[in-house]
Amino acid sequence: MTVQIGAVLLLGVLVLLLTINQAAIVPSQNQNVEFAHNDRLQSDLLDVRNGLIRAATSGNTQPNSVELGTSFPSRLIAINPASASGSLAPSSARGNATVSGAVPLDRNARTYWSNESHSMRYETMGFRYQPSYREYGTAPSTVYENTVLYNEFADGQNRTLSGQSIVDGRTISLIALRDVPTQSSSGRVGMDLRAISPSSTQVRTIAVTAGEEPLTITLPTQLDDETWTELLAGEPYVEDVSVAGGEVTITLAETRDGSEVTYNLRTSAVTASRSVEQPEPAYVTVVDGANRSVPENTTNTLTAEVRDRYNNPVSGATVDAEFSDGTQSLSASQLRSTEQGFAPFSFETESDGSAQFSLTDQSHHATVSLSSFLPAENELNLQSDETQQRRSSSSGRVQFSYAASGSGSLTADIRSSTASVSSALNVYSVGSSPSAAEGPIRIDEDGNTVDVTHDDVHQENFSDETLFVPEGESFGPEDGSEDIEYTFKDYDIEGDINTDQRMSLTAVDGDINFSDESSAISGRQITFVAENGNINVDGATIETTAGDTGQGNEGIVFDASGYISAVGTTMESGNDIILDAGSWIDLTDASVTVTGNGNIEITAGGEVDLVRTVLDIQGTAGSIGASAEGTVIDDTDIELRGRASPLDKTETA
C-alpha cells in the first residue's frame, strides 16, 4: 500500500512539474526566442533602409531579405505553439514629398520647372513591420519613412534606429519610395530594392537657390515635431521644423552671412515591386560645350542630356538637334540618348549661331547660343583691376573670360558662409608669353624675362620672380651630379626638372605648378615647399628612383601652407612619401608607390580625397596613414597593395 501511495504522489509531482514547465517555463523561453528574433528583424530592416539609400544614389538594385517570423525549438515533453509570424506592409505615412521654392541654376532645368504643370512633387510611402508573437506582447512595430527607421511602441513612444539623410549641410537628398508589396510569413522573405530613377547611372545633382518663396521640404510623416527636431539638430542651414496634419515641413536658410545659399538637390525614386515603370523623359539640357566661343570653320560638339522629372538621365530617348547661324541650318534628327543619358551633336559653323535640342513630340527645348571668332578679334572681357562676379554652375565650375594686354595675375575669391579663399593665376600678354620662350626663363613682376641655366639660379634667391620651363625642355645641372636648390616666388613647369642628386624647390609667396605630362625626377630626395601657397602637380610624374645613385634615394616630401592637388599624378620613391597641406589634399586617380621599405603619410588641415587612388608599398615594411581635420574620402575604388593594407585613417572633423 505504501508503494502505491508513493507512486501516486510521484506521478502527481511529475504532472505538476510538466504543468509548470508548459505554463511558465516554455512561454518564458519562447518569449526569449521572439525577443532575439525581433532584434534580428530590426537589423534586417536597417539593412533594407541602407540598401534603399544606396539604390537611390547608385541606380543599382540592392537585394535584401527580411526574417518576418521565427519558429520555436523542438521539445520532447512540451507542446510548442505555432511559429511566430509577422507582416510587412505600407505604412500610413504616404503622400507627396515636395520641394517648394527651389530655383535651378541650370537655365533649361529652370525653364522646365517654372512651368505651372510641373512641380517638384513626388509620390512616396513608408512601410511597417507588425509582429504576431505568441509571448512577446510588448514588442514594437518597426517603421520606415523618409530615410528614418524607428520602433513604434503601444504607448505611443517612438525610438529611432537611424538618423535622417534628407538634409546634409547644403545637400538635399529626396528619395521617393514608390511601392512596397504586402508580405506575411513565419520565415524569411526577399525584398529587392530597384532604382527606377536613376536607372543606369548615379543620381544627378542640380544646384538650386531659393526663389520668391522660402525653400522648404514637405514630407508625409507619423513622427512628431520633437523627434524631427532631434533628427535635424546640428544641421546649420535648417531654420525651422514643424509637424502638422501628418506632414513635416523643413524650412532652409535663403542667405548666410549676406550671401545667397546654393543647395545641391538630388531626387530619386526606388521601388520594392516589379510593377512600377521607369519615368518618361521630361526635359533636355546642354551639359557640355555650351557658353563658349569657338574658332571659325571648326567642328564643334554639343552634348545634351535627357532627364526625367527626378532630374536624372534617361537612356534610349529620341532627341532632335538643330544648329542655325543665319546662313545655314544643320539638323540631326532622331539622336538617341546613351546609357548615361547623353546625346552628342557635332556641326561646323562659320559665324555666330544657336543650337536647339528637343524631345520628340514634346514642347520643351534646350537652347544654347554660340559665337565664333578670329583670334585677332577676341574681345577684352575683363580689364585690369576690373572685378566680375560669377556663380558656380551645377558642376561647381566658374568661367571668366579675359584678354591680357600685359603681364599680371588673375585672382579668384571663393566665398561661402564659413570661408574666404583666394588664389592667383599668372597671366601674360602675347608679347611676353612664357609659352613662346625657347628655353627656361625667369620672369619678374613687370613681365621682363631672362634666359637662365641651373648655375644661374642654384642656391640663389629669386623670391620676386617666377621660374618657367617650357614644354619639351629639361632643366637642371648639365651632368646631373649636383643638387638642385631653387628659391622663387613661384614655379610654372611645363617641361622637366631632373638631377641624380637631391632636389629642393621653394616657393616663397606663390605656387609650385607642374603641368600635365611634366616631371620632376631625382636620384635621391625631392622636396617641394610652398611657404605661402599651393602645390599643383595634376597629371605630372614625380620620381626619386632615377640616376646612378638611385639606391640611396630618401623619398618625396610636399609641404604646402595651402592645398596639394595631385589628380592623376604618378609618385614613386624608394623611401617615404610625405604630403602635408594646411588645406585639402586631392589624390583622385593618383598612383603613389614606395618601391622599398617606407611609409606613405598624408596630413591635411581640410579634406583628403582618395577616390580611385592606388597606394602601394612594395617592400617588407611600411605603413599608410591619412589624417585630416576634415574628412578622408576613400570610396570603394581605392586600391591598397603590398604592405599598404589597411589604411590608417584619422579624422578630427
Across the range 643-647, mean pLDDT stands at 57
Per-residue pLDDT at 492 exceeds 80? yes
The pLDDT score that the predictor gives to residue 426 is 35
The pLDDT score that the predictor gives to residue 392 is 47
How does pLDDT run across 400-414, given as a tens digit for each residue? 554 444 444 445 554
Name the grid cell of 518. 611634366
The pLDDT score that the predictor gives to residue 454 is 93
- DSSP states of 130-184: EEE-SS-TTPPEEEEETTEEEEE-TTS-EEESS---SEETTEEEEEEE-----EE
How does pLDDT run across 413-462, given as a tens digit for each residue? 544 333 323 333 333 333 334 445 578 998 887 667 888 999 999 999 99
Q: What's the rounded Cα separation, in Å, for the pair 351 and 371?
A: 7
**In contact, 485 and 458? CB cutoff 8 Å:** yes
Across the range 227-251, mean pLDDT stands at 95
How does pLDDT run across 107-148, given as a tens digit for each residue? 788 888 887 777 899 999 999 999 999 889 899 999 999 999
The pLDDT score that the predictor gives to residue 487 is 95
- DSSP states of 317-349: -EEEEEEE-SS-EEEEEEEE--TTSEEEEEEEE
- DSSP states of 173-194: EEEEE-----EEESSEEE--BE
CA neighbor of 394 nearest in space, from 284, 253, 263: 263
φ, ψ (nearest 5 deg) of residue 13: -65, -40
- Which residue spans within 29-120 are E strands per DSSP? 65-67, 85-90, 95-100, 102-104
Identity (one letter) of the amino acid at 535?
Answer: I
How does pLDDT run across 565-580, given as a tens digit for each residue? 888 899 999 889 999 9
Per-residue pLDDT at 60 exceeds 60? yes
Q: What's the rounded Cα separation, in Å, for the pair 592 and 609?
A: 13
The pLDDT score that the predictor gives to residue 512 is 92
Identity (one letter) of the amino acid at 548?
Answer: D
Mean pLDDT of the chain: 79
The pLDDT score that the predictor gives to residue 460 is 92
Spatial neighbors of 286 by CB under 8 A, at least 6 apart, are 108, 302, 303, 304, 305, 355, 357, 366, 368
Per-residue pLDDT at 259 exceeds 80? yes
> Which of the two residues, 55 and 15, has the higher pLDDT score?
55
Q: What's the rounded Cα separation, in Å, for the pair 356 and 366?
A: 6
Across the range 494-522, mean pLDDT stands at 91
Name the grid cell of 21. 514547465
**In contact, 583 and 606? CB cutoff 8 Å:** yes
CA neighbor of 270 nearest in space, from 325, 195, 214: 195
The pLDDT score that the predictor gives to residue 369 is 46
Q: What's the rounded Cα separation, in Å, for the pair 582 and 554?
A: 23
Burial class (CB in 10 A: 0-12, 13-18, 19+), 566: buried
CA neighbor of 317 nearest in space, from 289, 345, 337: 337
Q: What SS3 string covers 520-558?
A: EEECCEEEEEECCCCEECCCCEEECCCCCCHHHCCEEEE
Neighbours of 110 (CB within 10 A): 16
In whole angstroms, how far apart are CA 204 and each of 169, 193, 266, 314, 319? 17, 19, 6, 11, 20
Q: What's the rounded Cα separation, in Å, for the pair 433 and 95?
A: 62
Alpha carbon of residue 73 to chain centroid = 48
Q: What's the rounded Cα separation, in Å, for the pair 188 and 47?
A: 14
The pLDDT score that the predictor gives to residue 276 is 82
C-alpha angle 213/233/585, rounded to 5°? 90
How does pLDDT run across 597-609, given as a tens digit for each residue? 888 999 998 888 8
Per-residue pLDDT at 387 exceeds 80? no
How does pLDDT run across 77-95, given as a tens digit for each residue? 767 778 899 999 999 999 9
Q: Are strands 283-288 and 541-543 parallel, antiparallel or unpaired?
A: unpaired
Per-residue pLDDT at 547 exceeds 50? no
Per-residue pLDDT at 252 exceeds 80? yes
C-alpha angle 550/556/560, rounded to 5°? 155
Per-residue pLDDT band at 150 (split at 50, 70, 90): very high
The SS3 call for residue 275 is coil
C-alpha angle 413/419/420, rounded to 5°? 20
Per-residue pLDDT at 248 exceeds 70? yes
381-384 long-range contacts, Cβ below 8 Å, gap at least 24? Answer: 382/410, 384/408
The pLDDT score that the predictor gives to residue 430 is 30
The pLDDT score that the predictor gives to residue 90 is 94
How does pLDDT run across 604-639, given as a tens digit for each residue? 988 888 877 888 888 777 888 888 887 777 654 455
Identity (one letter) of the amino acid at 309?
Answer: R
Q: What percent of the chain lies above the pLDDT cut of 70? A: 73
How does pLDDT run across 364-373, given as a tens digit for each residue? 555 544 443 3
**In contact, 69 and 187? CB cutoff 8 Å:** yes
Q: Is the dihedral of CA 226, 230, 232, 238 positive or negative?
A: positive
Residue 183: which region, alpha, beta or left (left: phi > 0; alpha: psi -120 to 50)?
A: beta
Q: Cis peptide before 646, with omega less than 30 degrees from 0?
A: yes
The pLDDT score that the predictor gives to residue 393 is 43
Per-residue pLDDT at 229 exceeds 80? yes
Half-sphere exposure for 203 (CA within 13 Å, toward CB): 26
Per-residue pLDDT at 174 exceeds 90? yes
Spatial neighbors of 547 by CB under 8 A, at least 6 apart, are 480, 499, 500, 501, 521, 522, 523, 524
Per-residue pLDDT band at 395 (split at 50, 70, 90): very low
Name the grid cell of 306. 535627357
